[in-house]
Amino acid sequence: MLLNKCNIFLCTNARTSGLISSSIKLLSTAVPNSQSKPSGETKLYASVCVERMPVITCDMNDLENRYSNLINEINVRRSLLSNHELRHLRDIERAKKKKDKQDDQELVIETAVDYEDKQLKQFKSFEFANRKTSAEFDKANVEKENKKLLLQNIDYILDKKLILLVSEPNSSVWQLPKVELASEDLSLRKTAERAVQGLSEKFEVDYMGNAPVGVFKSKKESLIEKQYFFKAQYKSGAQHLASSKFDFVWIRKDELKDFIKNKDYLACLNNFILDF
């Protein structure tokens, strides 16, 4: 009987000591260490990805061309005769009656074939606009003189999406327009608007929502920087960027790697910039 009491006492002491040691460990982790290094300073930025959407449709590839030709051929086979085709048939029938020397022929000033020849001549004289370059911009001449001047024109490619990159004066670092969060900003969206207005007050964009589409975090020694990205579509005023203090270019998504050297920053941009 005494042996059983001793076993119960030892077990109770063991459990109590285990609880005390666990409590001490929890308290030691909960109490902050006064000797630990203080966290670095954190700065918040808002960046805007300004996109100029395609002005014209893209060129079709080989598969799209073959499919388009097939659909057109099927539509022609299933369609009824147009007024012009019916007119051509009447002309043929009229010519056949004239050949048979029937006297009740009506006078025809212009046949369907004559109308086709006239329209074909007018079509050949029509000069189509350049699909790659705007009419007011000579890409071939500028490309030889200064490639950057070529990329500063927003209309040098009309069938592709273009993205705006800026660089500080006397700097080789290219990035999206950004500005630091200020105390008077009511939201990050307001900060993003200041980033665009800092380029030019006459440069207008349409923002795609109030929430950021991505975030990039970088650390330099004790300084931590967080950039929140907003997307916007170009509206007007690109010509006023020439008077901005920033250097700028309009580039395609596949050209980002030629300007942005930070691989982590480039990977972050590729997550939310779509190319189509």
**Contacts of 139 by beta carbon, 8 Å cutoff, 6+ apart:** 132, 133, 150, 156
| Per-residue DSSP letter, 47 | E
Hunting for tokens 């380029």 — which residue is that? 199
Are the CB atoms for 133 and 56 separated by under 8 Å?
no
**Contacts of 228 by beta carbon, 8 Å cutoff, 6+ apart:** 44, 45, 46, 47, 188, 192, 212, 214, 215
- Digit-by-digit pLDDT tens for the chain (276 residues) are 433 443 433 334 444 444 334 443 433 443 344 444 445 688 999 999 999 999 888 888 999 999 999 999 999 999 998 899 999 998 888 888 777 766 555 666 788 888 999 999 999 999 887 776 654 555 555 555 567 778 888 888 888 899 999 998 888 899 999 999 988 888 999 999 999 999 998 999 999 999 999 999 998 888 899 999 999 999 999 999 988 888 999 999 999 999 999 999 999 999 999 886
Q: What are the angstrom distances between the C-alpha of 181 and each of 118, 168, 174?
A: 65, 18, 20
CA distance 46 to 233: 16
| Per-residue DSSP letter, 10 | H
Which pLDDT score is estimated for 137?
55
Which pLDDT score is estimated for 1?
40
